[in-house]
C-alpha cells in the first residue's frame, strides 16, 4: 500500500482529528506518518498504530516559529520516501508544495478551516495579507483535497476552482455506561482551543448569572486573557481552566458534564461557517449543548434537535440559554435523548468511509 505523510504544526498529543484520519488509513494498510511539533511541555506519544514524528523548534510562536518550522519540515520531507503528502491547513502547505514538486509526488490539501478568515488572522492586516497570498498561490496547485463542511468546500471552489471532498469531524463511537438522567452537581464544559473568536470575552461575564460551574479544557492564543477575565469578574471559584487534557481523558470527562458549549464570534467566515469537533463530541457523550445558530450547526440540528441554538453570543444570551437548560428538565431530557439517537448516525465509523474512498481514488 502507499505511504502517506500528514503535516501539522500542533502538538500531536491532542489532535483528535488527525488521530482518527491517520488511524483509519493505517487500518486500511497504508503506511502513515503524522508529523507535528515538539513543545517544551509535550508528553510521550502513545502507540496509535501509525508512525509519529515531532519536529523540535527554537521558536514557539509568531513569524519566527512558522519560518523555522516550515524550513525544518521542508528538509525533513525532502529526504523521506512517500507516495503522497497531505498538508493540513495553510501553515504547512508551502513545504509540501515544494517537496512534492521537486520529487513529483502526489499532494493533497486538508482544509481543516478557512485559515485566512480566522479572527486572529483578519484582525492583523499584514498577517492576513501574507496568508492570503500563500492561499492564492498554493491552493490552486492542490487539485486534490478535502475539507470539513459544504460551505468551506463551496468557498474554496468559488475562489480557486478546486472541488474538494467533505470529511466531517465526527468522533469515534463510544459506549455510555449510564444512559439514565444525571444526578448530583450540574456543571458546564467547554472543550477545544482557547483562542480568539471563541467568545470567552462574553462567556466569562455570563457565568456571573449562571448557577453552575464551568470547566474549560484546552489552551490557545487567548488562554492568558481568559485567565485575566476570570480574575476580573472574580469567578475563580466558579470557572476552572484545566489546560490541555488528553483525548483519552476527555472521552471519560465529557459524559460527566451536564451541558457543553460551542461558541464562535460571528466576525470572519471561518467562525461563522465552522463545524467544530466539539459539537459532535458533546453529542457522542450524550450531553445537550448551547451552540451558536450558524448555518452548518443549524443544518445538522434541524433533523436531530440535539442543541439549544442561540442567535448571538452576548453575555445575557449565553446565561439565559444555560439557565434554561439547567432548570427545564423536560427540554433537557428531550435534547439528551435526541443526542443518544443521533450518535448512532453522527460517528466516525460512518464518516471514515468517505475518507477511505478518497484515498482509494488517489491510487
- pLDDT tens for residues 302-316? 999 999 999 999 999
Fold match between domain 3-170+347-362 and domain 187-342: yes
Which three three-digit cell numbers place residue 115? 485559515
Topology given in CATH for the domain delimited by 3-170+347-362: Rossmann fold (3.40.50)
Res 179 pLDDT > 60 = no
Percentage above 70 pLDDT, the chain: 98
Regarding predicted confidence, which is higher, 10 or 209? 209
CA distance linking residue 72 with residue 54, whole number of Å:
11
Percentage above 90 pLDDT, the chain: 85
Please state the rounded mean pLDDT for residues 162-190. Answer: 83
Res 180 pLDDT > 70 = no
Predicted pLDDT of residue 181: 56
Exposure of 248 by Cβ count < 10 A (0-12 exposed, 13-18 middle, 19+ buried)? exposed
What is 187-342's CATH superfamily? Glycogen Phosphorylase B; (3.40.50.2000)
CA distance linking residue 242 with residue 253, whole number of Å:
12
pTM of the model: 0.91
Q: Domain segments of the chain: what residues?
A: 3-170+347-362, 187-342
pLDDT band at 323 (very low <50, low <70, confident <90, very high): very high
Amino acid at each position: 500500500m502507499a505511504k502517506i505523510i500528514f503535516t501539522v504544526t500542533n502538538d500531536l498529543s491532542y489532535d483528535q482529528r488527525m488521530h482518527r484520519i491517520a488511524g483509519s488509513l493505517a487500518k486500511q494498510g497504508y503506511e502513515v506518518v503524522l508529523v507535528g511539533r515538539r513543545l517544551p511541555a509535550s508528553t510521550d506519544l502513545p502507540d496509535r498504530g501509525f508512525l509519529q514524528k515531532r519536529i523540535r523548534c527554537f521558536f514557539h510562536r509568531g513569524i519566527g516559529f512558522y519560518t523555522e518550522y516550515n524550513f525544518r519540515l521542508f528538509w525533513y520531507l525532502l529526504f523521506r520516501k512517500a507516495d503522497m503528502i497531505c498538508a493540513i491547513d495553510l501553515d504547512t502547505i508551502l513545504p509540501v508544495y515544494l517537496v512534492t514538486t521537486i520529487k513529483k509526488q502526489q499532494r493533497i490539501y486538508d482544509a481543516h478551516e478557512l485559515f485566512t478568515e480566522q479572527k486572529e488572522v483578519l484582525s492583523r492586516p499584514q498577517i492576513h495579507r501574507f496568508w492570503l497570498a500563500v492561499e492564492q498561490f498554493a491552493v490552486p496547485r492542490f487539485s486534490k483535497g478535502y475539507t470539513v463542511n459544504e460551505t468551506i468546500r463551496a468557498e474554496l471552489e468559488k475562489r480557486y476552482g478546486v472541488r474538494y471532498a467533505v470529511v466531517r469531524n465526527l468522533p469515534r463511537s463510544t459506549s455510555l455506561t449510564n444512559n439514565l438522567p444525571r444526578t448530583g452537581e450540574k456543571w458546564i464544559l467547554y472543550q477545544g482551543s482557547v483562542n480568539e473568536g471563541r467568545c470567552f470575552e462574553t462567556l466569562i461575564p455570563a457565568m456571573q448569572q449562571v448557577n453552575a460551574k464551568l470547566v474549560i479544557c484546552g489552551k490557545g492564543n487567548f488562554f492568558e486573557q481568559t485567565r485575566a477575565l476570570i480574575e476580573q469578574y472574580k469567578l475563580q471559584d466558579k470557572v476552572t481552566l484545566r489546560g490541555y487534557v488528553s483525548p483519552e481523558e476527555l472521552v471519560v470527562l465529557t459524559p460527566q458534564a451536564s451541558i457543553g458549549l460551542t461558541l464562535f464570534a460571528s466576525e470572519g467566515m471561518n467562525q461563522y461557517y465552522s463545524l467544530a469537533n466539539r459539537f459532535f463530541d458533546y453529542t457522542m457523550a450524550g450531553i445537550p449543548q448551547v451552540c451558536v445558530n450558524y448555518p452548518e450547526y443549524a443544518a445538522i440540528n434541524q433533523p436531530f434537535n440535539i442543541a439549544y441554538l442561540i442567535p448571538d453570543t452576548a453575555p445575557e444570551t449565553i446565561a439565559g440559554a444555560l439557565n434554561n437548560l439547567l432548570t427545564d428538565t423536560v427540554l433537557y431530557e428531550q435534547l439528551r435523548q435526541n443526542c443518544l439517537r443521533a450518535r448512532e448516525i453522527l460517528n466516525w465509523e460512518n464518516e471514515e468511509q468517505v475518507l477511505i474512498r478518497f484515498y482509494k481514488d488517489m491510487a
